[in-house]
């Protein structure tokens, strides 16, 4: 295992390691990512309750089987007696890193469709739908073949449940998750402040915008309090100017706006999004993110992935 973390997430320190498996006398080594949940080191949390709550969530993840869902390998409590999540190592990193550093010419529309199909699988899962709750470019991992897979779903709510509303939450560790959140999650009402399916749809629209343009939602704002004000005031994630100049294309931009309808019950569903994206992919002959998209030149510098 790496001597120290090689990256940091919203609630975890990420190490690189190897998992040894044995079968009929042979040994195979699999390169893995070890996500040590540093949030659960805060004082005052019930360790037994934490393990039960986390194990319940990851048990569901372990049962999932879809090409656009990252494989979950297991948990470990060997590091400082704190829980670690074990995933395959994705050398291409997150979608944000992949598009910014490794393959900026990738088919972004195809990656957005991958994300949509993974999210639709979660939303239609039986016996009960699964809410991701923390969808953004950094929680999308890219396989060796360049396909997008979803990870870390449900975990932000687990962390918040364990430490309580006044404890340590992901947003205290890194600025930015607010930018992908739907308006209803920012309301101080118990019925709307927990992640639900329509909130995932809003976040999907924000993530599609992020993958399409390389900008995080509300990239023209530097601080989260201003972002919250814009969300509550009805400002769209790209900003009013950029959004007005691009919508009406009958394609991906209009689809994103259907994700940002204010009343949650009126938002488009993921199954409809998948259908429209498949149609767009079938008629697209070039990456959909160059001259057809207007981004104001006066926008502040895009936040780095480490900031979000």
214 C-beta neighbours (distance < 10 Å), count:
17
Q: Which of 39-53, 237-251, 281-295 has the lowest mean pLDDT?
A: 281-295
List the one residue out of 149, 144, 93 whose CA is nearest residue 117.
Answer: 149
Residue-level pLDDT at 271: 98
Cα(120)–Cα(133) distance, integer angstroms: 13
Phi and psi angles of residue 266, each rounded to the nearest 5 degrees, phi first:
-95, -5
Specify the pLDDT at position 301: 39
**pLDDT over threshold 90, residue 176:** no
Does position 107 have pLDDT exceeding 60, yes or no? yes
CB 165 within 8 A of CB 57: no
- Nearest-5° Cα angle at 151, 69 to 57: 95
**pLDDT of res. 28:** 77
Fold classification of 92-307 is Transferase(Phosphotransferase); domain 1 (1.10.510)
User: What's the mean per-residue pLDDT of the chain?
Assistant: 81
139-159 pLDDT, tens digit per residue, is 999 999 999 999 987 666 666
Q: Sketch the domain layout of the chain as residue ranges.
A: 92-307
Q: So what's the pLDDT on residue 298?
A: 42
| Distance separating alpha carbons of residues 120 and 101, to the nearest angstrom | 28
Considering 5-9, 15-19, 215-219, the range whose residues carry the highest mean pLDDT is 215-219
Q: What percent of the chain has pLDDT over 70?
A: 74
Would you say residue 305 has pLDDT above 50? no
Give the pLDDT band (50/70/90) at residue 82: confident
Q: Which of 78-92, 141-155, 284-298 has the weakest average pLDDT?
A: 284-298
Instruction: Give 177's pLDDT tier (boundaries 50, 70, 90).
Output: confident
Q: Mean of the pLDDT values across residues 229-257?
A: 92
pLDDT of residue 180: 96
Sequence-distant (6+) residues with CB within 8 A of 179 are 136, 206, 216, 217, 218, 224, 227, 237, 308
Q: Is the peptide bond before 303 cis (omega within 30 degrees of 0)?
A: no
| CA-based end-to-end distance of the chain | 26
The number of beta carbons lying within 10 Å of the beta carbon of residue 196 is: 17
Sign (positive/negative) of CA torsion 246, 251, 254, 260? Answer: negative
Residue that wins the pLDDT comparison between 265 and 301: 265
């Amino acid at each position: 295992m790496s001597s120290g973390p090689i990256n940091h997430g919203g609630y975890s320190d990420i190490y690189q390691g190897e998992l040894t498996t044995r079968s009929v006398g042979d040994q195979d080594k699999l390169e893995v990512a070890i996500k040590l949940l540093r949030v659960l080191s805060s004082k005052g949390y019930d360790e037994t309750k934490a393990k039960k709550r986390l194990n319940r969530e990851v048990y569901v993840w372990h049962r999932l089987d879809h090409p656009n869902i990252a494989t979950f390998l297991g948990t470990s409590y060997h590091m400082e007696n704190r829980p670690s999540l074990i995933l395959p190592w994705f050398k291409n990193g997150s979608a944000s890193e992949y598009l910014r550093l490794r393959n900026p010419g990738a088919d972004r529309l195809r990656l957005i469709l991958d994300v949509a199909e993974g999210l639709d699988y979660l939303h239609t899962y039986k016996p009960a739908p699964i809410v991701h709750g923390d969808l953004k470019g950094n929680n999308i991992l890219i396989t060796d073949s360049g396909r997008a897979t979803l990870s870390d779903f449900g975990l932000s709510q687990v962390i918040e449940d364990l430490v309580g509303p006044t404890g340590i939450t992901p947003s205290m560790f890194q600025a930015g998750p607010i930018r992908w959140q739907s308006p209803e999650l920012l309301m101080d009402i118990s019925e709307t402040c927990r992640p639900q399916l329509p909130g995932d749809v809003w976040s999907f629209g924000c993530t599609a915008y992020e993958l399409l343009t390389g900008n995080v939602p509300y990239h023209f704002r530097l601080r989260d309090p201003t972002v919250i004000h814009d969300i509550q005031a009805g400002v769209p994630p790209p900003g009013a100017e950029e959004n007005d100049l691009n919508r009406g294309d009958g394609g991906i931009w209009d689809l994103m706006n259907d994700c940002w309808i204010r009343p949650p019950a009126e938002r488009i569903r993921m199954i409809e999004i998948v259908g429209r994206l498949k149609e767009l992919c079938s008629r697209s002959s070039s990456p959909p993110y160059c001259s057809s998209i207007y981004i104001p030149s006066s926008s502040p510098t895009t936040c780095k992935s480490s900031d979000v």
